[in-house]
C-alpha cells in the first residue's frame, strides 16, 4: 500500500513558519495502531487523516503519542490540501470529527475554521502546573487545557517550563496567555503539551477555542487578532460567534511524500 503525505505549514504565509502538519488522505480507515505509528514516524505536532464521506469528510488527528479530539492547524492544512491539490472548485469544506462538524470557509488564500467555543472556568491549580510553569500566573482557569493568564507579553516570552513537571498535569495541555504589546494584536499565547509528545506547539488552533471566548469577554469585542509567540510563530484572525469561534489563517505547502505500508 502506498499513501501520499503532504506537509503543510499552517497559520502562516511563509515557509518554515507557522505549524507544520502531515496530511494523509485515505480511501478507508486503517487500524488505529498503524495510524499512530505513522504519526510517530512523522514526529510532527500533528498528523491528520481524512477520507470522503458523501459531500463531507471524516477527519482524525494524531500527535506522535496519542489521538486528539480537536486540532486547528491540521484541519486548516487538510482544507488547504483539498483546495489547492485535490478539489480546486471547493469554497467550503465540512469535516466530521470527534468534536462534531467542523466547517472551513475558503476565500482567496484565507481559510476560516468554524470550531466549538470552549470558554475556561476557574479551577484549583495543579501542583505540577505551577512547578512546571515556574513563573506564577496571575490566574488559572481551565477547559480541556489549563489556562494560565499572565500580566504581560514579556512574561509569556520569558517562560521556560519544566516539561517533566508539565507532563504530569491532569489535563491535556497548558495554554499560557497575556495581553499583546504589539500594534494590531489583541493577545498572545504559547501552548505546552509534553505528555502528548509536543513540548511546545508552534501554533495551536484548538487552543483558540478557549482563548477567543476569554479575550472577547475581557476586551469587550467579538473580533480579535492573535499571535502565538513560539519560536516559529503564527497569526490568527479570530471571532466569537455565539457558541462557536471563527479562526482564520493561511497555509503553504512544504512537501509531498509517499508512505510505503507492507501488504
Q: 263 pLDDT exceeds 80?
A: no
Same domain for 86 and 58: yes
Same domain for 227 and 175: yes
Same domain for 224 and 135: yes
> What's the pLDDT tens digit per position in 92-106?
999 999 999 999 999
Same domain for 71 and 24: yes
Same domain for 15 and 105: yes
* Percent of the chain residues topping a pLDDT of 70: 100
Summarize the confidence of residues 20-48 as an average pLDDT.
Answer: 97
pLDDT of the residue at 245: 98
Domain that holds residue 166: 121-242
Q: 195 pLDDT exceeds 90?
A: yes
Same domain for 127 and 237: yes
First to last CA, the chain: 6
Categorize the per-residue pLDDT at 78 as very low, low, confident or very high, splitting at 50, 70 and 90: very high
Q: How many CB atoms lie within 10 A of CB 233?
A: 17
| Catalytic residue list | 46
Same domain for 55 and 154: no
Same domain for 147 and 68: no
* The three cell numbers locating residue 207: 487552543
**Is there a contact between 41 and 65 (Cβ–Cβ < 8 Å)?**
no
Burial of 163 (0-12, 13-18, 19+ CB in 10 A): middle
Categorize the per-residue pLDDT at 246 as very low, low, confident or very high, splitting at 50, 70 and 90: very high
Average pLDDT, the chain: 97
Same domain for 188 and 204: yes
pLDDT of the residue at 52: 96
The Cα–Cα gap between 140 and 134 comes to 14
Summarize the confidence of residues 39-46 as an average pLDDT.
Answer: 96
Q: Domain tally for the chain?
A: 2
Q: 4 pLDDT exceeds 90?
A: yes
Same domain for 130 and 230: yes
Same domain for 177 and 79: no
Q: What is the CATH number of the domain that holds 184?
A: 3.10.310.10
Same domain for 129 and 34: no
> What's the pLDDT tens digit per position in 143-155?
999 999 999 999 9
Categorize the per-residue pLDDT at 262 as very low, low, confident or very high, splitting at 50, 70 and 90: confident
pLDDT of the residue at 119: 98
Residues 6+ apart with CB under 8 A from 178: 149, 150, 151, 152, 153, 155, 156, 187, 188, 189
> What SS3 class is residue 81?
helix
Amino acid at each position: 500500500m502506498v499513501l501520499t503525505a503532504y506537509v503543510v505549514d499552517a497559520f502562516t504565509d511563509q515557509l518554515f513558519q507557522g505549524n507544520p502538519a502531515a496530511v494523509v488522505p485515505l480511501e478507508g480507515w486503517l487500524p488505529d495502531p498503524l495510524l499512530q505509528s505513522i504519526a510517530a514516524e512523522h514526529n510532527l505536532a500533528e498528523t491528520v487523516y481524512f477520507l470522503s464521506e458523501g459531500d463531507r469528510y471524516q477527519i482524525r488527528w494524531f500527535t506522535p503519542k496519542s489521538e486528539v479530539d480537536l486540532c486547528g492547524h491540521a484541519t486548516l492544512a487538510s482544507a488547504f490540501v483539498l483546495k489547492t491539490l485535490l478539489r480546486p472548485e471547493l469554497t467550503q469544506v465540512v469535516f466530521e470529527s470527534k468534536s462534531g462538524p467542523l466547517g472551513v470557509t475558503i476565500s482567496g488564500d484565507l481559510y476560516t475554521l468554524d470550531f466549538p467555543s470552549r470558554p475556561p472556568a476557574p479551577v484549583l491549580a495543579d501542583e505540577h502546573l505551577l512547578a512546571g510553569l515556574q513563573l506564577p500566573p496571575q490566574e488559572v482557569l481551565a477547559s480541556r487545557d489549563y489556562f494560565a493568564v499572565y500580566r504581560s507579553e514579556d512574561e509569556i516570552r520569558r517562560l521556560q517550563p519544566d516539561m517533566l513537571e508539565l507532563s504530569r498535569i491532569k489535563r491535556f495541555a497548558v495554554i499560557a496567555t497575556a495581553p499583546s504589546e504589539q500594534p494590531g494584536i489583541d493577545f498572545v499565547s504559547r501552548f505546552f503539551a509534553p505528555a502528548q509528545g509536543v513540548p511546545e506547539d508552534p501554533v495551536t488552533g484548538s487552543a483558540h477555542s478557549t482563548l477567543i471566548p476569554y479575550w472577547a469577554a475581557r476586551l469587550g469585542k467579538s473580533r480579535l487578532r492573535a499571535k502565538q509567540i513560539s519560536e516559529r510563530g503564527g497569526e490568527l484572525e479570530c471571532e466569537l460567534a455565539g457558541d462557536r469561534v471563527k479562526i482564520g489563517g493561511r497555509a503553504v505547502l512544504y512537501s509531498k511524500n509517499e508512505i510505503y505500508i507492507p501488504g
